Structure 1
Amino acid sequence: MPFIAMIAALPGLAFLLGAGLMAAGFLAAIAGFFMAMMNTQQKFEQSSLVFVLGIVALVVGAWLMRLAP
């Protein structure tokens, strides 16, 4: 995979990208959780999607940080 080779060549970029994704994922997961709890104008499906995308961003960010040597 060319993406993995590029990340392996730039370890600092992989770490920063992973840390940024983890931070964004954490905020999205918290936002999705509170959107579902407050039951505001947003639909439940939208808040669930935000929560799940936050968890996915957390996992991908952790994977990128682990990939950096």
Structure 2
Amino acid sequence: MAELWKSLPSWVRNIVVPIVVLILAWNLIWFVIGAVTSLIAFLIKALVLVAVAAGVVILVKKAAKS
């Protein structure tokens, strides 16, 4: 691997490789942010669904008593 790195022209080592690494890091960061955001959104939707279902159960029980 060291021979391959040393065989690259200096402009590739100093310009192209850091740009490619930055692009890959940027995409990885946004992938993680997107995954976390979608997980949080799913959890919020699940909590809202549970809250609505609990409200419906409470209302049905109140209606059944009267």
Query: How would you bin the TM-score normalised by the shorter chain?
Result: 0.3 to 0.5
Q: Which has more helix, going by share of residues?
A: 2
Larger-gyration structure (1/2): 2
When the two structures are superposed, what TM-score results if normalisation uses the length of structure 1?
Answer: 0.43
When the two structures are superposed, what TM-score results if normalisation uses the length of structure 2?
Answer: 0.45
